[in-house]
Structure 1
């Protein structure tokens, strides 16, 4: 591997001037301003919720925004993942020797709080670039070049990023898995016993309606990098495109479809977001009437009526449970959403919940077409 990722610094977005992503992250989802920068036609605002940091690059400058590149993508998008690496210069040399394109070679930025060195790497995952960063010893609130933004403490709904999901074209997961392994040290994380890394986990939607192929990747123990999930559509006799196919069409190619945010209390977080005006995806009406679902919910220490009220999904057994709820898209183009996830000893991503999410998104698309 060329450059092992040690931690996730931030996730960057590119939006046009006036797009309300930064405002909505604060108003609806509990993120707080952390640091800001305005230069070269860009307004950059870093926002934080727990250890999850989003960097919103707003505008369209003549050059690239600091710590990233401008992909000139046709729609608003999550465009960059920034990772800590131990030896940046060595990592970049090794990546370049492997044939990786490095549009921004190592450059240092400093202020009175210290120095940060970064480089930007192109990835094969659509418009997604990767920033590799050496920031050990930097004492500032965010990064050099940004002024701190003081704000009141946030609601504490989110503690960290649990996982990152890339929507991929059919058949591309094996090549992407190898690339993230060779370049950043990710390795296959089986989601089912004996899972073939070339095939991943197939989650059929049922009734010949296609489904998802999921391939999960993680870095070695001792790192603080979220799980990376590659998602592609399974072939099926669907009357309309599924949500991965819709993402690929509306996003104009592969990219970061959603970010899973870990919450210590999904009921509190979901309720707070709804009260603030956030919109959550509603599971199918029959979801909570499935055989054994009420007992499963009670075994996890929850009341079925409360989970149903917030649209929270649950999966697991034997004392280990996974609870999830999904927001509606943060962009009008329907190309990015957030997931809240609470783990009660469970790993994985809730195979049965994936089916329920699949159905709910399809139903949502049908309702949108009818209105």
Structure 2
């Protein structure tokens, strides 16, 4: 199965227009298209948001029969579909179903002019599905015959973010290994990293799986049940099962991007000064200036190939579940134990009550 990059991520949300307003205002996305009653789809409202190489689809149910209605009732707003670029959507679909994936969307061909898009969908983890997307022709025509694409915005937009770097996924205890095996068998992913993380009297187990192309990466996390419940347990309880805890978006200049996003209204988690006081002794000299990291609250870790810089937003979700990460890679390819532990501790620092 030839999986390329993440084609798009679809969120099911209670109010697509309200969610789009926040992402456009705070993160710099632009609304590029829509689907809904105006395009012949009376059961939903979908908005296409884009920035750099990132495409997000926000879908709200206009009918209780649309799957977004049940999803939002159970989980609140969240990631419902992570779509994969493929060279043969129907072939990928057949191969996945043969390996045990459940059918979510039968193969369908969408054509307009010289553009053709073939889609098909199968089950992933929890209530999250994966859509295979095969594109021929003009990529700007996102989904011919379904999505109405707006005229290009004459105003130049600031490109703060470029691609989806990875998704972090919380799984109920006992589901980590079976989920890894599922992604290896069904999608041809491989495990590239694993780590058992202890923070005080809490602990979690994690494994990172990646597509053969190296362009789709999932960090899979499960709680350890013989320790005190922690933020993974809290996510699973509030979300109502397995789900995407955060999406990491790649930038090429994190110490510029973070203040720009803060000026737009994004609130990031704060990092204690002690973290930076001990940073050089722990990791050596960072590629970015220590004073810039301290000023922006950016975390840093390293692996065999280089360094990685990251920061997490406070959750704007009413259940305090989903949040975002901004990440800047300086050669680093994977996730060191310091990164995963930093994520765990960063979320624990957010003390906002539910």
| TM-score normalised over the length of structure 1 | 0.85
How far apart in 1 are the matches of 2:60 and 2:303?
44
How far apart in 1 are the matches of 2:308 and 2:215?
20
Q: Check the 8 A contact 1:169/1:248 in 2, yes or no.
A: yes
Q: What secondary structure, in the 3-state scheme, does the structure 2 residue paired with 1:20 have? A: helix
Unaligned runs of 5+ in 2: none
Q: How many residues of Structure 1 are paired with residues of Structure 2 in the alignment?
A: 344
Identify the residue that residue 50 of structure 1 maps to in structure 2: 52
Unaligned runs of 5+ in 1: 191-199
1:261-276 equivalence runs, <5 A:
261-276=249-264
Identify the residue that residue 163 of structure 2 maps to in structure 1: 160
How far apart in 2 are the matches of 1:329 and 1:289?
27
Q: What secondary structure, in the 3-state scheme, does the structure 2 residue paired with 1:259 have? A: strand
Give the deviation of 1:155 after TM superposition.
1.6
Task: Rate the CA distance shift 1:187–1:36 in 2: closer, same or farther, 3 A.
Answer: same
Task: Rate the CA distance shift 1:28–1:202 in 2: closer, same or farther, 3 A.
Answer: same
Identify the residue that residue 293 of structure 2 maps to in structure 1: 307
How far apart in 2 are the matches of 1:244 and 1:187?
23
1:11-160 equivalence runs, <5 A:
11-17=9-15, 20-39=18-37, 40-61=42-63, 64=66, 70=68, 72-73=70-71, 74=74, 75-123=76-124, 125-144=125-144, 145-149=146-150, 150-151=152-153, 152-160=155-163
Give the deviation of 1:53 after TM superposition.
1.2
1:103-252 equivalence runs, <5 A:
103-123=104-124, 125-144=125-144, 145-149=146-150, 150-151=152-153, 152-190=155-193, 200-205=194-199, 207=200, 209-220=201-212, 223=213, 225-235=215-225, 237-238=227-228, 241-252=229-240
Whether 2:327 is the aligned partner of 1:329: answer no
Q: What secondary structure, in the 3-state scheme, does the structure 2 residue paired with 1:81 have? A: strand
Task: Rate the CA distance shift 1:342–1:17 in 2: closer, same or farther, 3 A.
Answer: closer
How far apart in 2 are the matches of 1:83 and 1:353?
26
Identify the residue that residue 194 of structure 1 maps to in structure 2: none
Give the deviation of 1:226 after TM superposition.
2.2
- My pick for the range that moved more, 335-344 or 14-23, is 14-23
Give the deviation of 1:344 after TM superposition.
1.3
Give the deviation of 1:357 after TM superposition.
3.2
| TM-score normalised over the length of structure 2 | 0.88
Give the deviation of 1:25 after TM superposition.
1.0
How far apart in 2 are the matches of 1:201 and 1:226?
19
Q: Check the 8 A contact 1:327/1:338 in 2, yes or no.
A: yes
Identify the residue that residue 280 of structure 2 maps to in structure 1: 292
How far apart in 2 are the matches of 1:300 and 1:360?
20
Q: Check the 8 A contact 1:171/1:232 in 2, yes or no.
A: yes
Identify the residue that residue 195 of structure 1 maps to in structure 2: none
Q: What secondary structure, in the 3-state scheme, does the structure 2 residue paired with 1:269 have? A: helix
Q: What secondary structure, in the 3-state scheme, does the structure 1 residue paired with 2:70 have? A: coil
Give the deviation of 1:88 after TM superposition.
2.4
- My pick for the range that moved more, 354-363 or 286-295, is 286-295
How much is the aligned-residue C-alpha RMSD, in angstroms?
2.4
Give the deviation of 1:317 after TM superposition.
7.5
Task: Rate the CA distance shift 1:350–1:319 in 2: closer, same or farther, 3 A.
Answer: closer
